[in-house]
């Protein structure tokens, strides 16, 4: 099995992450969290059962940038 979310976290730590957005539907995923990166693949979709995990990560990132 491909470590999809592990690779996404690695890319975030490597400063490839640009922004995120919630959309009603992306391809066959509804609702969807879209993660935007500066390198290919530029967009990574995340299903709703992982939203809480990523929201926590975004809060941690914001807190570390604020200190």
DSSP string covering the chain: ---HHHHHHHHHHTT-EEEEEEES-BTTBSSEEEEEESSSS-EEEEEGGGHHHHHHHHHHHHHHHH-
The per-residue pLDDT for 67 is 62
Q: Which domain holds residue 62?
A: 4-66
Q: What is the per-residue pLDDT across 3-49, written as a single tens digit (0 to 9) for each?
A: 999 999 999 999 999 999 999 999 999 999 999 999 999 999 999 99
Q: What is the per-residue pLDDT across 48-63, written as a single tens digit (0 to 9) for each?
A: 999 999 999 999 988 9
Helix (H, G, I), strand (E, B) or coil at 64: helix
The per-residue pLDDT for 36 is 98
The per-residue pLDDT for 37 is 98
Q: What pTM was computed for the model?
A: 0.90
* Number of domains the chain is built from: 1
Chain-centroid distance of CA 47 in Å reads 10
């Amino acid at each position: 099995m491909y470590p999809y979310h592990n690779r996404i976290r690695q890319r975030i730590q490597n400063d490839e992450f640009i922004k995120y957005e919630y959309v009603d539907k992306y391809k066959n995923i509804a609702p969807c969290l879209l993660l935007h990166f500066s390198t290919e693949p530029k967009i990574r979709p995340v299903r709703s059962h992982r939203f809480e995990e990523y929201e926590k990560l975004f809060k941690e990132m914001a807190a570390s940038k604020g200190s």
